[in-house]
Structure 1
Amino acid sequence: MAKDKDYKDTELQDPKITSPRTAEEPGPKPEKGEDSCCPPQHKGAGKDEEERSSFIPTVVSLVLLLLGIALDFFEVDWFSGYLRLTVFGVAYILVGSKVVKHAVTNIAKGNIFNEFFLMTIATLGAFYIGEYAEGVAVMLFYVIGEHFQEAAVARSRRSIKALIDNRPEEVSVLSNGQVSIVNPKNVNIGEIIQIKPGEKVALDGEMLSESSSFNTAALTGESKPDTKKKGETVLAGMINLDKLVELKVTSGYEDSALSKILKLVEEASGRKAKTQNFITRFAKIYTPIVVFLAIGLALLPYFFVDTYVFEEWLYRALVFLVISCPCALVISIPLGYFGGIGAASRNGLLFKGSNFLDLITKVDTVVMDKTGTLTEGVFKVQEVKVRCLEKDRFLALTAALENKSTHPIASAVVEHSGDAYKQLKVQDVEEIAGHGLKGTVDGKELFVGNAKLLQKFNISYAPEIEETVETIVVVAIDGKYEGYITIADQIKEDAVVAIKQLGDLGIDTIVMLSGDKDSIVQKVAGQLKIDKAYGGLLPQDKVAKVEELKKQGKKVAFVGDGINDAPVITLADVGMAMGALGSDAAIETADVVIQTDQPVKIATAIKIGKKTRQIVWQNIGLAFGVKALVLIFGAFGVASLWEAVFADVGVAFLAILNAVRLQRIKF
């Protein structure tokens, strides 16, 4: 049995690795604090106690502020002088000490003009003119806004983790016939573990049991059960559906596929998008301009206003400074990208950085590998042609002989034929190199292989065999040609829809590159209505094709899954890898990993990128629009510090809600 080329020389294109995979470490995470306009974010993932304690100073400050305002309102005689200053001063220190500390630290390092500096001089100025309550309120509501941001980020992070962090806390280890319950972190590679029906798999392993069905939704998003057979890889996070099975552990706890994915998602926002970098650069120009405008607003009216009162114009300048704080931008933009990464994760897509959410919106050309990307990457029987025998009898005889071969094409025939072949007696099996198999099955002499096998034994066959594009298995019985079976890689169910959706999104060029023979590649391209297709390519040929497209000014996304796709994935503007069955090399070099192995997710990734960008720019427009309006009112004395505080906090809060909304959108 063979292709229409040498039987043993048949190559499987785009080889796959099914061993546990490692995800690429995202780039260096941006440092918070000194170079940021907002205080460092509370990281305590899983530290609920610490998170709750961080609210205590805020609550105490709020109580003292309300107490002070009430005593002022009722004009209590004894609430004055140093006592009044002490109450408001303690309230200020509780919420403002960290901001002041950051301002002083940054000034010492030469980084003067940032939000810490703005907040400090505005609030201390408010104390200077006796507006204690307003000075405290600026810091208090600023910190409350920070708590809202932290809560939104924590919620987003938890929702992402809930999608994929399915790691159980204990596992049953089988040793010397005894089962013991052990923490997965303490299980070594090579040990045997048992997985009960309904139990989640804690560690990657190789199936030792004959077979079982697994729910793989945590890893691939697919609800359809996946049957794993002896020798196949089972990944952590899958749920055993059928029977008690045994696995041989192939990866440590922290090296499991699920752990790598979880780490990748949690660190994905480490790479700043260009919009985020733009805001950082913008703040360095924006802040000093605002500070000097505020100084001018306080001092210049002395030369133009007859009834100049320094305290009045200083107050206006302080309002101007408070309004100018770019907190809404600093909060909402990173949160917008984090929301995009979360939305992508919900849809089975892992972006390795927020910069790729921006880059994917600029893509105008999508280049795809064939095997494993647009097709299943597994040989399947496509057509069975028989002359005289019944089809089932023909398949049983052929499968009985093919069962003696370990070749993938032989396995495809055996899998397609059912179990009838198991009842047939096979004798005198002879493998003829480069041709196929010869043997006796149920008393009949069978020849199963390529056309050269029949030619070798002077058996005539139908001319249509020479014209067949797919891999073909020719069968002769008792010296007479009886029929043939065509074997081909099956197109994925959603491949046609994927190509159409890309066209609808404005992708003007779609290209398919493959190492498979060109006749097969062109046939698949025709079925999928792909613009251009090239077959018979080596890895360096694929690189050359993508380089050619980039020289034409195209923004290229390449999607692949095999080891030979790694170089071109790296070269592309956006490299995408099929993550469920793809090779380590492809996944490590990719910028975006498609966990479901569905080509339709390419279009989904572009949609999420565009929606993320839209929401980020909505937040930028909202922040600048409201600030510009209130700045004008503040300069003319219409807006007080209270309006400034609520405007800044309100804009930040709306921006947060807008960013979180991204995770609720269905793509």
Structure 2
Amino acid sequence: MSKEHSHEHAFEEMSCGTGCCCSGGSCGTEGAIRPVPAVLGIALFAAALVAGGDTWFGLAAYAGAYLLIGWDVLKTAFIGLRHGRAMDENFLMSIASLGAMFLGDYSEAVGVMLFYRVGEYLQERAVGSSRRSVRELMKLRPDAVHVREDGAVRDVPPSDVKPGTLIEVRAGERIPLDGVIVGGRSVLDTSAMTGESLPVEAGEGTAVMAGYINGQGVLYVRTDRDWKHSALARVQELVEAASGNKSRMEGRLSRFSRIYTPLVIAIAVLVFLCYPFVTGGSWGDGLFRALVLLVISCPCALVLSVPLGFFAGIGRAARNGILVKGSSYLDALRKVKTVVFDKTGTLTEGAFAVDEVLPCAGVSPESLLYWAAHAESAASHPLGRSIVKAYGGALFPERVADMVEVTGGGVSARVEGRSVLAGKKAFLKDAGVAVDDLEERGATIYVAMDGVLLGRLRMSDQVKSGAALAVRELRDLGVNRLVMLTGDSSSAGREVGDRLGLD
């Protein structure tokens, strides 16, 4: 099995998530909780509580409920006993609950098994949520690569592509392997790998990483690494490796369980053997008290509570779009005094919007947006779509003609018969438009009509509504240094940092 396939298989098989509640790292049960037996068991338990344990129906209902709810625990304990791994909480749960049944405490026997299974169900739900988030990362792996050979294109698996191969990446596709562009021009969405929110211009000679998205046109890339050494594969490998890490607390609990379980059993045996001689009571009383000791000493609350707390935290974070790579990392957050944020998609939305409309003298803001939006109305660039959205008014495509989009520069079009340019400062200067040299913040689009500058549109990545609150609450929790790390431009980074009050 190839390495990348084994990675995917490992994700599918991670039934314990980031740590197990069992000693020795074995799972508490074999496989996921089965809903039908669990529901039937709960129904029988309810019927038994109504009927009571002094009737044949009640006894049968308790026995059926116990087997339906606790069968997986009993089975795991038996398998562990056969393989010399008896001393875990499954074995202790089994003998404690069977002891309660023997003592006639049927509702307690079924109840303790039910609570244990409910805890496992909640654990599986929490871990499943985290696993789904990790699988989303795995989906970034391409299914096929378009390889060009002898003028023809064929699709091959990423693992079969060698360094130095010429591949084709079409518009809208994710670049599958690291390499260098040898043909074509485009704008790339690199946010998944670098955090850069603004599309990046790319052409011949530009180095690219697996995970970038080709915004337009066809690119020809000469690969310089195979799949398993690509940047995207390394990210996936690191997440997979980290997701199996136990927290230090969970490791202590596993070691504790291996000592505690045989100790409790030994004490229970001593109580049974010594009780008649010390107290003068009967062997039956000694057995009763030994079984009571086993029931009350079952450590499922302790052994389940800490891992379940971690699983619940990881699951809650996953539902909020935060991937915690393992419970050891969640545990480490208790001592954090410095927090480093990614910018794009974490503190900001990852989508540009028009912040300021800066018309020249004699030009209204509405007029500037009107001409710019019509010139950009058919453009494919994300900044152009942001301008159209900011305009918000009705567009009249029939008034637009001769639209030409220049990759990495801007657009030119005839709007109502007037020549309109919208794009970067250099794009307008090359067309002979006199442009001021004011400092740019974020992304700035200049707009000109008939060779005369109409004004500028400043755009930035929008700060998320809850980002400022998160910063304040972290400071209240004792985090004394808040830092932002971004692959975006320094001016865009400073603007977001100042707005949020980061250090």
User: So what's the TM-score if we normalise by structure 2?
Assistant: 0.56
Q: Which sections of structure 2, spanning at least 5 residues, go unmatched? A: 1-9, 133-171, 173-242
Bigger relative contact order (CA 8 A; separation at least 6): 1
Query: Which of 135, 146, 158 does residue 113 from structure 2 map onto?
Result: 146
Conserved? CA contact 2:47–2:61, under 8 Å: no
Residue 486 of structure 2 corresponds to residue 519 of structure 1: no
Provide the residue aligned with 2:181 in structure 1: none
Q: Secondary structure at the match of 2:262?
A: helix
1:501 aligned partner? 473
1:156/1:342 contact within 8 Å kept: no
Give the conservation status (yes or no) of the 8 Å contact 1:374–1:492.
yes
Report how far residue 31 of structure 1 moved. Answer: 9.6
For the pair 1:389 / 2:363, whether they are aligned, the reply is yes
In structure 2, what is the Cα distance between the partners aligned to 1:116 and 1:394? 72
Distance 1:416 1:26 in 2: 47
The code of the aligned residue for 1:392 comes to: E
Question: In 2, distance between residues paired with 1:93 and 1:380?
Answer: 62
In the TM superposition, what whole-angstrom CA distance separates every residue of 1:114-167 from its partner, at most 9, and x where no partner exists? 45666787899x8xxxxxx983335652222212444566689899999xx9xx
Task: Identify the residue that residue 358 of structure 1 maps to in structure 2.
Answer: 331
Following superposition, the deviation at residue 381 of structure 1 comes to 1.8
One-letter identity of the residue aligned with 1:411: R
Cα pair distance change 1:419/1:65, threshold 3 Å: closer
Tell me, in whole angstroms, the C-alpha distance in 2 between the residues paired with 1:146 and 1:347: 32
Aligned to 2:85: 111
Gaps of 5+ in 1: 1-22, 69-86, 127-132, 166-205, 207-268, 532-667
Contact 1:62 1:91 survives alignment (8 Å):
no
Which residue identity is paired with 1:378?
Answer: A
Q: Residues 147 and 121 of structure 1: is their aligned pair in 2 closer, same or farther, counting only changes over 3 Å?
A: closer
Residue 372 of structure 1, CA deviation: 2.7
Amino acid at match of 1:367: V
For 2:457, the aligned partner's letter is: I
In structure 1, distance between residues paired with 2:116 and 2:495: 53
Alpha-carbon displacement from aligned partner over 1:87-139 (angstroms, at most 9, x marks no partner): 99999899599688766654443234445666787899x8xxxxxx9833356
Cα deviation for residue 285 of structure 1 reads: 0.8
* Structure 1 residue 66: Cα displacement: 2.9
Q: Distance in 1 between matches of 2:289 and 2:382?
A: 80
Structure 2 distance, partners of 1:389, 1:152, is 66
**Helix, strand or coil at the partner of 1:392:** helix
Instruction: Give the 5 Å matches for 1:217-256.
Output: none
Q: Distance in 2 between matches of 1:419 and 1:143?
A: 66
Match of 1:481 in 2: 453
**Residue 51 in 1 paired to residue 22 in 2?**
no
CA distance in 1 between partners of 2:306 and 2:406 (Å):
66
Task: Report how far residue 43 of structure 1 moved.
Answer: 1.8
Superposed counterparts of 1:193-592, under 5 Å: 274-297=248-271, 311=283, 316-330=289-303, 332-333=305-306, 335-337=308-310, 339-340=312-313, 357-384=330-357, 385-403=359-377, 405-419=379-393, 422=396, 425-426=399-400, 436-438=410-412, 440-456=414-430, 458-464=432-438, 467-531=439-503
Matched AA of 1:504 = D
Secondary structure of the equivalent of 1:397?
A: helix
1:27-46 mapped onto 2 (5 Å cutoff): 27-29=14-16, 43-45=33-35
Tell me the CA shift for residue 349 of structure 1.
6.0
Pick one of 76, 82, 104 that aligns with 1:137: 104
% identical equivalent positions: 34
CA distance 1:137–1:356, shift in 2 (3 Å): farther
2:217 corresponds in structure 1 to none
Shift in Å, 1:426: 4.2
275-284 or 340-349, which moves further after superposition?
A: 340-349
Distance of 2:402 and 2:289 partners within structure 1: 101
Q: 1:89 & 1:431 partners in 2: Cα distance?
A: 78
The 3 A distance-change label for structure 1 pair 274 and 66 is: farther
Q: Aligned residue for 2:228?
A: none
Distance, in Å, in 1 between the alignment partners of 2:399 and 2:80 is 85
